[in-house]
A = this chain, B = another copy of it.
Amino acid sequence: MAVTIRDVAKRLNLSITTVSRALDGYDDVAEDTRERVRNAAAQMGYAPSHMARQMRRQRADTIGFAISLPPTARDNTNNRAFADPFVLEFIAGLGDEATQCHLDLIVSTATPGMEEETLFRRWVQGRRLDGVVVNRLRKDDWRVAYLTQNRVPFVASGHLQGATFPFIEVDGKSGFKRMVQYLAGKGHARIGYIGGPDGLRLQDDRLAGYRAGLRAAGLSFNKAFLAQGDMTRNGGYAAALQLLALPQRPSAILCVNDMTAIGAMRAARERGLVVGRDIAIAGFDGIADAEHTEPPLTTLNQPAYDIARALVQMLAQMIEDGRRGQSHVPKQVLLQPELILRQSTEGGN
């Protein structure tokens, strides 16, 4: 058995209360008592039990991240959500800021055979969590409904119509509109689009941006130039092959995210096309890998790491307000993605 506060108290002939307060830095403890306690604790290797403390304080000091996984994005052997560097960078941001706020981060990994939802419910109901970060919102997202109903504080990366919760959204519509206009300006008239799964909010958003861009450039929308991936490399690859097989293939392809674009580049290469000369390809996210592809990928950058950190701060504030019974004013932020031009969109018109 590990050493408890009682052991320390006994050793010093003090009450456990005094030990507790000495260690927690209360000022109603004699300085030399505090010293003795500190020394004894250090020497005996005592550290307060996190569980007991949480229990007493009725807080978990833990937040959760519920990744949304499109079903096709996972196979039986591996959890592919983790394979997206964008998500990864996001998680790194969450973890870093959580640590700084003295919170733990639990990441939901829905394993094969265990529903994401089951797991999530268990967390919430078991009060393992003080709050949740949600990403990739779906159009009608059960997570939002569930969390709202159970009064669990949460913040979102992305937003929904009429959202009353805090969120940070990167403006995919405006981003892709600008991207299309840029490509049109370079002389592209046949611009294709590879999207993501249907239920996703961001899919609607980015697709709308694509169409708005076409309109703004005076280009007509061609349904045949639309393909659907699943936001993974392989999905992008398959979708691109489809577009490239058209009798009149697009001269430029926009992809819903960078992973899709990387898959699409591969498809183009296999068809004997040189990306950035015979065809233009662009993505969205600004993952580090996009710099290292051959050729480097044009993309819309969103600061995943910083967004994640900001979200955790917002969540921490929300939790704090909730504890004090204060009402929380949700902070809602809309960011513009930064257009990063690289060689993948050099030629191809």
Q: Which of A278-322 contact B (CB under 8 A)?
A: 288-289, 292-294, 305
Q: For the complex, what is the distance from the CA of A13 to the CA of B305, rounded to whole Å? A: 52
A80 to chain B, nearest CB (A): 8
Q: Does A92 contact B (CB under 8 A)?
A: yes
Instruction: From the candidates B2, B79, B128, B288, name the one contacting A95 in the complex (CB within 8 A).
Output: B79
Could you tell me the distance in whole angstroms from the C-beta of A325 to the nearest C-beta in chain B?
A: 13
By the criterion CB–CB under 8 Å, are A83 and B78 in contact?
Answer: no
| Residue contact A79 to B55, C-beta cutoff 8 Å | no
1/0 contact trace for A144-178 toward B, CB 8 Å?
00000010000000000000000000000000000
Taking a contact as CB atoms under 8 Å apart, the answer to whether B288 and A83 are in contact is yes
Q: CB of A206 within 8 A of chain B?
A: no
With the chains together, A125 CA to B49 CA distance in Å? 8
Kindly report which residue of chain B lies nearest to residue A294, judged by CB atoms.
Answer: B294
B83 touches A96 (CB 8 A): no
The answer to whether A78 touches B89 (Cβ under 8 A) is yes
Closest approach, in angstroms, between the C-beta of A81 and any C-beta of chain B? 8
- Give Cα distance in the complex from A126 to B128, angstroms: 17
Asked if A226 is at the interface of the complex by the 8 Å CB criterion, the answer is no
Using known A-B contacts A100-B113, A111-B100, A114-B99, determine if residue A49 contacts B92 with beta carbons closer than 8 Å. Answer: no
**Chain B neighbourhood of A262, CB < 8 A:** 292
A127 to B55, CA, bound (A): 14
A227: Cβ under 8 A from any B Cβ: no
* Given A109-B96, A119-B99, A294-B294, A126 contacting B50 (CB threshold 8 A): yes
Is A341 in the interface zone, CB < 8 Å from B? no
| Stoichiometry (number of copies) | 2
Render A261-278 as a binary contact track against B, CB cut-off 8 A, 1 for contact: 011001001000000000
| B-contact bits for A56-86, CB 8 A (1 contact / 0 none) | 0000100000000000000001110011010
Residues of B within 8 A of A83 (CB): 85, 88-89, 92, 288
Is A17 in contact with chain B by the CB < 8 A criterion? no
Report if A346 contacts B (CB, 8 A).
no
Question: 8 Å CB contacts to B: which residues of A101-152?
Answer: 104-107, 109-114, 119, 121-122, 125-128, 150
Q: Give every chain B residue within 8 A of A93 (Cβ-Cβ).
A: 78
**Known contacts A49-B127, A51-B60; is A109 also within 8 Å of B99 by CB?**
yes
Tell me if A45 is interfacial: C-beta within 8 Å of chain B. Answer: yes
Contact for A82 among B45, B91, B121, B263, CB less than 8 A: B91
- Shortest Cβ gap from A308 to chain B (Å): 11
The answer to the question of A188 belonging to the interface, with a C-beta cut-off of 8 Å to chain B, is: no
Please name the residue on chain B nearest to A113 by beta carbon. Answer: B100
**Contacting A269 at CB < 8 Å: which of B2, B50, B60, B294?**
B294
Instruction: Report Cα–Cα, A90/B105, bound state, in Å.
Output: 18
Binding site for B on A (CB under 8 A): 2, 45-52, 54-55, 60, 77-79, 82-83, 85, 88-89, 91-93, 95-97, 99-100, 104-107, 109-114, 119, 121-122, 125-128, 150, 233, 262-263, 266, 269, 288-289, 292-294, 305
